[in-house]
């Protein structure tokens, strides 16, 4: 697992939504909340200042549930969850590690966030 800060390019399946993050990618997690357990994504949090949406804002659809505070974004063309704004950490973006180019999410040590505690 990388410990150096690097710039990672991310995109949805059809490439209509593209973003970039600057991070060390040393902590990736799964969440067991009612939404995340169904989408099964491996995620990584980055501060707002380290996230840049490069393309496709018009193709993003927002999904919200429960308190309607967290913002979960997906591509309205291919349906891929790309990133979200967590309810408990709105100063961060949670990105779908599977969207990052040249990163194998299955090769990373994955932690667990107890999102059920917030459902």
From first to last of its 119 residues, what are the pLDDT tens digits of the chain?
446 899 999 999 999 999 999 999 999 999 998 899 999 999 999 999 999 999 999 999 999 998 999 999 999 999 999 999 999 899 999 999 999 999 999 999 999 988 888 76
d(Cα 109, Cα 50) in Å, to the nearest integer? 22
Domains plus CATH for the chain? 6-118 (2.170.150.70)
Of 56, 38, 62, the C-alpha closest to 115 is 38
Contact 37, 31 (CB under 8 A): yes
18, 72, 17, 15: which is closest to 7 by C-alpha?
A: 18
- Residue 48 — left, alpha, or beta (φ > 0 → left; ψ -120 to 50 → alpha)? alpha
């Amino acid at each position: 697992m990388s410990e150096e800060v690097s710039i990672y390019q991310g995109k949805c399946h059809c490439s209509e939504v593209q973003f970039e993050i600057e991070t060390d990618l040393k902590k990736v997690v799964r969440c067991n909340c009612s939404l995340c357990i169904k989408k099964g994504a491996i995620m990584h949090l980055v501060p707002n200042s380290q996230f840049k949406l490069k393309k496709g804002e018009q193709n993003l659809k927002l999904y919200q549930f429960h308190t309607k505070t967290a913002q979960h974004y997906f591509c309205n063309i291919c349906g891929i969850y790309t990133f979200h704004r967590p309810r408990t950490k709105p100063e961060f973006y949670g990105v779908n590690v599977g969207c990052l180019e040249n990163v194998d999410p299955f090769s990373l040590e994955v932690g667990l966030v107890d999102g059920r505690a917030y459902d």
